[in-house]
A and B are shown apart, each in its own frame.
Chain A
Amino acid sequence: MNEAQAATTRFCARVAGPFLIVVALMILSRADTFPMLLPTMMQDAPLVMITGVWTLLLGLIFYAAHHHLGSPAAIALTVLALVVVVRGAMLMVLPETLITIAGQVGQVPPIMMGLTALLGLVGLWLTYVGWMAKKV
């Protein structure tokens, strides 16, 4: 990984890390209402389409800026960028499939809590890599 790639990984980790922490904390703090939020959102087709457009755009910018795999943090960020691209595309093309998946995950609290904990831990690790670690 060259110097420019390391700088890009650090920058992306500084954004993605705190974002994942906030998302995980939000899901935990609103665990009662969060499973209802996604199905409610999915009933609003224009909102789903607009969210898909912006998510896809964000994912494509993220992937265009960061698509190298030179370290564990770089791999995690590149995979995350691809996940954002796929999620954005699915929100636009196959919203029903996403509703089904989100609904099934939301109905099994251990799986939802496990995924949330994983998000939080990855967020903590990326925040450390972005803001504190000397080497990415």
Chain B
Amino acid sequence: MTEAQTRTTQFCARIIGPLLVIVGAVVIARAADLVLLIPAILQDGPLTFITGVFTLICGLVVLAAHHHWSGAPAFVISLLAVLTIVRGVVLMFAPSFLTGVVHQVLNLGPGVLLAGVVALLIGAWLSFIGWFAKPA
């Protein structure tokens, strides 16, 4: 990994890390609300479409800035960029498919809490990489 790539990974980790920490904490703290809120958002066609547009733009910006895969943090950030693009495209093209997936996840019981914990842990790790760890 070149020096420029290391700097890009650190910069992206500084944004994505705290974002995932906050999103994870919100999911854990408001799990009961989210079970009702997410299906309501997905039933609102225009809101889903606009969310898809901005999600796609965010994913494309991250991937354009960060598309190297060497090292665990770089791999995770590039993978998150690709997943964000896929989510944006699905929200725009096939929101009903996403509605089905969300219903299945929400019916899993602790599935939402588990997703929140995973996001929180990945976010904490990326925050450490971005703000505290010395570049490799």
**A47: interface (CB < 8 Å):** yes
Query: Closest residue to A25 on the B side, CB-wise?
Result: B93
Q: Tell me, in angstroms, the Cα distance from A14 to B46 when the chains sit together.
A: 26
- A-chain residues with CB within 8 Å of residue B57 when the two chains form the complex: 15, 19, 58
Query: Closest residue to A58 on the B side, CB-wise?
Result: B57
Q: How far is the CB of B12 from chain A (nearest CB, A)?
A: 14
For B64, give its contact among A15, A29, A37, A58 (CB under 8 Å). A15
**A95: interface (CB < 8 Å):** no
Interface of B: prevailing SS: helix
Known contacts A22-B92, A41-B50, A47-B50; is-contact A14 B45 (Cβ 8 Å): no
**A51: interface (CB < 8 Å):** yes
Q: Tell me, in angstroms, the Cα distance from A56 to B63 when the chains sit together.
A: 22
Query: Closest residue to B89 on the A side, CB-wise?
Result: A22
Instruction: Please indicate which of the listed interface residues B47, B53, B64, B92 has the most CB atoms of chain A within 10 Å of its own CB.
Output: B64
Summed over the interface, the residue pairs from A and B with CB atoms below 8 Å come to a total of 42
Task: Please state if A51 and B50 are interface contacts (CB–CB under 8 Å).
Answer: yes
Task: Please state if B54 and A40 are interface contacts (CB–CB under 8 Å).
Answer: no
Query: Closest residue to B67 on the A side, CB-wise?
Result: A14
**A130: interface (CB < 8 Å):** yes
Q: Tell me, in angstroms, the Cα distance from A95 to B31 when the chains sit together.
A: 36
Supplied contacts A14-B63, A18-B60, A23-B53, 15 more A-B pairs, CB within 8 Å: A11-B64, A11-B65, A14-B60, A14-B64, A15-B57, A19-B60, A22-B88, A23-B92, A40-B46, A41-B46, A47-B46, A47-B47, A51-B50, A58-B57, A130-B64
11 residue pairs A–B, Cβ–Cβ below 8 Å: A15-B57, A15-B61, A19-B60, A23-B53, A26-B92, A40-B46, A41-B46, A41-B49, A41-B50, A47-B47, A130-B64
Q: Spell out A's residues near B (CB within 8 Å).
A: 11, 14-15, 18-19, 22-23, 25-26, 29-30, 37, 40-41, 44, 47, 51, 54, 58, 130
